[in-house]
Homo-oligomer: A and B are copies of this chain.
Amino acid sequence: MRTINKSAGERTKAVILQTALELFRRRGFEVTTMRDIARSAKVATGAAYYYFPSKEAIVAAYYDRVQRRHAEQVRVELNGRAGLRERLGAVMHSKLEILKDDRMFLGALFRYTGDPDHPLSVFGKGAHAQRSQSVAIFQEAIAGTNVSEELRQLLPWALWLVHLGMILFFIYDETEGQQRTHKLADGILDLLTQLIELTSSALVRPFVQPFQTKILGMLREAGWTGGI
């Protein structure tokens, strides 16, 4: 059901996507032209545009697939892991693992970050569904762990943002196997979970609570609704 029984169109679309990714990986995003892609996929240039509204949209389609795979992977890996730190680690590292060969063209995802109205802007309306899916993964990772109700709302969004930053860092990370990114992710998660534990410790809670309340108020004022 997964790769068989596709209509002709679905098959063509898949071929174009696959061919494009191969070229992006081998030569890079910029230098690969739509004509290259079409030629390699043995279709006319226009065909690529019948299935993908733009060159960047091909990368977006790839990233859709990444999200699906990540959701699957996370479902598997979260099984049996109970601690928050461990669960978040699984989410982050598995994401990097999925992306590991594609740093070369991943940057295309960020091309329209500064363009609120562009359908492919990471922060724009057009990416709402994507964003929600990604946030949902973090919600799942948090679910069942011991965090306050307020944090339960805020954390998934914060983690999604952190995870975006991580991908950006990952793109810039030239160390072997991008170990720096992995280490940084671990460091940040260590820190984060330690801070979260603080908020649930009865000893310091009265001390930390006002901060938390202030942050939430501030974010609400800034337009964050908390809804998915």
Question: Chain A interface (Cβ within 8 Å of chain B)?
Answer: 106-116, 123, 168-169, 171-172, 180, 183-184, 187-188, 190-191, 194, 211, 214-215, 218, 221-223
The residue in A107, A112, A123, A191 that gathers the most chain B C-beta atoms within 10 A of its C-beta is A107
The answer to whether A114 and B111 have CB atoms under 8 Å apart is: yes
Q: Told that A184-B222, A187-B218 touch, could you supply 14 new A-B pairs with CB distance under 8 A?
A: A106-B114, A110-B110, A110-B114, A111-B111, A111-B112, A116-B171, A116-B172, A180-B222, A184-B221, A187-B214, A188-B218, A190-B214, A191-B211, A191-B214
> Chain A: interface secondary structure?
helix
The answer to whether B221 and A187 have CB atoms under 8 Å apart is: yes
Number of copies: 2
The answer to whether B184 and A218 have CB atoms under 8 Å apart is: yes
Complex contacts, A111 vs chain B, CB 8 Å: 111-112, 114
Would you give the shortest CB distance from A121 to chain B, in whole angstroms? 9
Would you give the shortest CB distance from A40 to chain B, in whole angstroms? 23
The answer to whether A221 and B106 have CB atoms under 8 Å apart is: no
Complex contacts, A168 vs chain B, CB 8 Å: 113-114, 123
Q: 10 smallest A-B Cβ distances: which pairs?
A: A107-B114, A110-B114, A187-B218, A184-B222, A107-B115, A116-B172, A110-B113, A180-B222, A183-B221, A114-B171
Among B113, B180, B221, which residue has its beta carbon within 8 angstroms of that of A113?
B113
Complex contacts, A172 vs chain B, CB 8 Å: 116, 123
Among B169, B191, B218, which residue has its beta carbon within 8 angstroms of that of A215?
B191
Report how far A191 CA is from B183 CA in the complex, Å. 27
Complex contacts, A214 vs chain B, CB 8 Å: 187, 190-191
Complex contacts, A183 vs chain B, CB 8 Å: 218, 221-222
The residue in A108, A113, A183 that gathers the most chain B C-beta atoms within 10 A of its C-beta is A113
Complex contacts, A169 vs chain B, CB 8 Å: 222
11 CB contacts below 8 A, A to B, read A108-B114, A110-B114, A114-B168, A123-B168, A123-B172, A169-B222, A183-B218, A184-B218, A191-B211, A191-B215, A194-B211
